[in-house]
Amino acid sequence: MRVLVLTAALVLAFSLLVFGIDLGHPLFNDLPLLSPIPLVAGMATLGYFSRRREKMIAFAASCFFLAAAAWMWSSRDRVGRMPTRMLMVGVDGATWDVLDGMELPAFERIRAEGAHGTLRSMEPMFSPLLWTTIASGKPPEAHGIRGFHVQSYDCQVARWWDVAEAQGRAVGLYKPLVDYPPRSFSTGGFWVPSWLAPAPDTWPDALRAVKEVELGNRLRRKQVGSGGVGVRTVLGLVQAGVRLSTLLRGARWTLEDKLTGPGPERRNVEMQLIRGYIDRDVFVAQVYASDAAVASLNLYATDGLAHLYWDRYEAGGPELRAAYTQADVVLGELMRRAGGHMRLLVVSDHGFKAMDGSGEAGQFLPLTERLQSRLGAEGIGKVDVTRVGHKLTVGTAKASEAERARAIVLGWLDREGEPFFRVEPYPGDPASLALTLAKEAVSTERLAVDTVGGEPIVDYVKLSEAYTGTHDERGIILAWGEGVAAGTVIEGATLFDVAPTLLSGADLPAADDMSGRSLLWPELPRVPTWDGLVPSLRYMGGEGGTNEEMLKALGYTE
């Protein structure tokens, strides 16, 4: 009997704790299906009381019934419809090749009730450049973003959130890349930077726990012996809007990780999914809390897991499918919460495909570190070298420096006296170069003897099977909501069309110096340019640099 009473008291205490949290954060209890458990326990205990009429049994039954009532009340969804007029969801690296091969109810609903098409990406095909083009409607030579080692103030043009703020709209910004350090919006809203951020700065500061989770290893190294970080971060996550189901998933994973030591595949997938659910929870909570009129959320598991496990996906594996399923769950919730006036735009910055399998070990990877330092030593200036698949991108500050870099790289010869790299310009971006190996037959024998301009070849390339997927130019675009006709097929869409489309969907004017067009909603009369907003933008202090650990984990650098 003591066990029964103690169990009932603990169930009631936990239910009342959840009830209390949910009073201040009404999305916290998202597990209504658990409410029958204390209810059934109370009924069973009441039946026990009918046979043994003891006060302690009646007390236990009362605890169970009160727990059930508290749980049922707090698990109701009572926040109403989202206040957002225009919502964009970025699904990084999403491709129709995967979407068409899975059962994804939300994506399928958008296709049936709204519009869909292929969104053509551009070279150089890496995410900071592409998402900046999406956000601004401008090419790299205008916005100035050519690498990963960039920060918010490096963008030389206005982006859609700058326009929305200037027009008096509250803005919700969640991880769109090239977004650190953040700044405050005078019109209200929130700003949580993406995975490139080197520090946990957010606006408002109460949301920093989201970034502390992502930067956990880095922060722990800085706070050796400080203690209590875990509990403080969890409390911060709850305050930011993380839900009970996500916390329980994190607790379950922590226990599994400690007890069973799962392999890297399991760890990579679960950490990506937990991070994605945290992002969903906080984004939705903050949209409600700030009444954001225009908002965007970026999901990155579809890109990160595709780099690592594309071969497993093609063989029927679950890793990448889990990321697409999560994206579908997030979209489904946003659509359920949409008000009748909301417009939804879903885009990817590029698609995905299998990496070329040449090389003795099935894959080889060109290396970035020595190439970047060697060009820097040649006086090129600021150089940003990144890798996507077998291609290296060399970003410089201006076209003349790119031309100098081209001449230098072509002068690096192998042992046979031939250029080691093949160098190509990027159409539309004269300050960047594309490098590939002139001879892609990489073997252990070649690695032992070949050279690159007199230096060991092993400083420039290695054999590896770690990354099996690479970027493809065929991305996705979908739209749903007010003003979108069911079954519309979007033709000829490019990245330059996204910003004018988003602005039109938010009832905001695009600019004459944006080359794209609105693909769906009628445009307001355009202004000459929005770039005059840039000099007045004031960003929070922040730290220098980028999150190098994430760049290495995703294979963009060493």
In which order are the strands placed within the sheet that holds 421-426? 384-388, 391-395, 429-437, 421-426
pLDDT digits (tens, 9 = 90+) for 147-159: 777 899 999 999 9
| Helix 105-113 / helix 319-337 crossing angle, nearest 10 deg | 50
Q: What pLDDT does residue 429 have? A: 79
Each domain of the chain, given as residue ranges in start order, spans: 2-74, 86-355+469-553, 364-463
Q: How confident is the model at residue 269 (pLDDT cuts 50, 70, 90)?
A: very high
- What tokens does 163 get? 């326009």
Give residue 261's pLDDT band: very low, low, confident or very high (50, 70, 90).
confident
With bands split at pLDDT 50, 70 and 90, how would you rate the model's confidence at 443? confident
Mean pLDDT of 91-117: 97
How far apart are the C-alpha atoms of 329 and 337, rounded to whole Å? 13
Q: What is the DSSP letter of 338?
A: B
As a whole number of angstroms, the distance between CA 277 and CA 213 comes to 12
pLDDT of 318 higher than 70: yes
Mean pLDDT of 513-522: 96
86-355+469-553 placed in CATH 3.10.20.30: no
So what's the pLDDT on residue 66?
96
pLDDT at 266: 92
Q: For residue 33, what pLDDT is reported?
A: 94
Residue with the bigger pLDDT between 540 and 297: it is: 297
Pairing of strands 421-426, 469-472: unpaired
The average pLDDT across 100-129 equals: 94
pLDDT range class, residue 227, cuts 50, 70, 90 = very low
- Assess contact for 347 and 475: CB atoms under 8 A: yes
Determine the average pLDDT of the residues in 41-55. Answer: 82
Instruction: Specify burial of residue 410 (Cβ count, 10 A radius: 0-12, 13-18, 19+).
Output: middle
Decide: helix, strand or coil at residue 162: helix
Name the pLDDT band for 220 (thresholds 50, 70, 90). very low
pLDDT of residue 229: 43
Reported as a single tens digit per residue, the pLDDT across 452-474 is: 999 999 999 998 777 888 899 99
Least confident of 55-59, 248-252, 474-478: 55-59
Three-class SS of residue 269? helix
pLDDT digits (tens, 9 = 90+) for 280-294: 999 999 999 999 999
Q: What is the mean pLDDT of the chain?
A: 91
Q: Mapping DSSP to helix (H, G, I), strand (E, B) and coil, where does residue 214 land?
A: helix
Kindly tell me if the per-residue pLDDT of 208 is higher than 80. Answer: yes
pLDDT at 550: 67
Quote the CA–CA distance of 515 and 519 in Å, as a whole number.
13
**Would you say residue 48 has pLDDT above 80?**
no
Beta strands 343-347 and 86-91 are parallel
Lowest mean pLDDT among 249-258, 293-302, 318-327, 362-371: 362-371
Q: Which of 76-90, 210-224, 346-360, 506-520 has the lowest mean pLDDT?
A: 210-224
Does pLDDT of 136 surpass 90? yes
Rg of the chain's alpha carbons, rounded to an integer?
26
Q: Where are the alpha helices (DSSP H) in 261-338?
A: 264-290, 301-314, 319-337
Top pLDDT among 227 and 26 is at 26
